[in-house]
């Protein structure tokens, strides 16, 4: 019986370690990894992320945020955008030239309101983030990710290590 239990426990331990590593650790400041637990969201965050809403320009948390840091998915804490790629588009919403990693977001065709636009969603939670347009800075690839503040949580650079995002501090290394 012991010969069966010990290898089984060891296997479970290895699977748990691999799972934790694949999910970026177990930091408790990060939110749930799925849309199962949404109790931490405000009504506005739910309206935007779950129902494709849009917050008013210039009346949102991050449109004029100037500090260094990263912007994470408000649902699951996945890093999505960096202040190093943020620029003032004059639109009243946070605008970025690119996501931290392309596969952290996904694009879908949005035909609401009689327009054809490209909607940006979180790849993991399928939540609405905003839209991407091809009128961004040419020297940075020409894209403008126009993102709702309510779909994000800002992590200032000085708090990134403590909140479990230390691996992303390299984004701020001077070249």
Report the distance separating Cα 148 and Cα 92, nearest Å.
10
* Both tokens assigned to 47: 């309206």
For residue 109, give the H/E element and its range.
Answer: strand 105-110
Distant-in-sequence, close-in-space partners of 134: CB < 8 Å, separation ≥ 6 = 142, 143, 144
Name beta bridge partners: 154. 71
Report the distance separating Cα 127 and Cα 35, nearest Å.
9
Does residue 112 have an active-site annotation? no
Report the distance separating Cα 101 and Cα 81, nearest Å.
8
Q: Which is catalytic among the residues 146, 152, 155, 171?
A: 146
**Residues that are catalytic:** 146
């Amino acid at each position: 019986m012991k010969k069966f239990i010990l290898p089984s426990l060891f296997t479970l331990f290895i699977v748990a370690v691999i799972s934790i590593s694949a999910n970026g650790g177990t930091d408790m400041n990060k939110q749930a990894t799925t849309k199962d637990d949404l109790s931490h969201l405000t009504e506005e965050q739910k309206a935007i992320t779950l129902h494709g809403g849009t917050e008013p320009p210039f009346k949102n948390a991050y449109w004029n945020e100037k500090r260094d840091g990263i912007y994470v998915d408000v649902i699951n804490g996945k890093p999505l955008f960096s202040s190093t790629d943020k620029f003032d588009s004059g639109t009243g919403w946070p605008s970025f030239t690119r996501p931290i990693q392309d596969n952290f977001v996904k694009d879908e065709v949005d035909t609401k309101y009689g327009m054809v636009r490209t909607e940006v969603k979180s790849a993991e939670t399928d939540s609405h983030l905003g839209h991407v347009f091809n009128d961004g800075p040419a020297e940075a690839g020409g894209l403008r990710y126009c993102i709702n503040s309510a779909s994000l949580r800002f992590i200032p650079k000085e708090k990134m290590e403590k909140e479990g995002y230390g691996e992303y501090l390299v984004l701020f290394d001077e070249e």
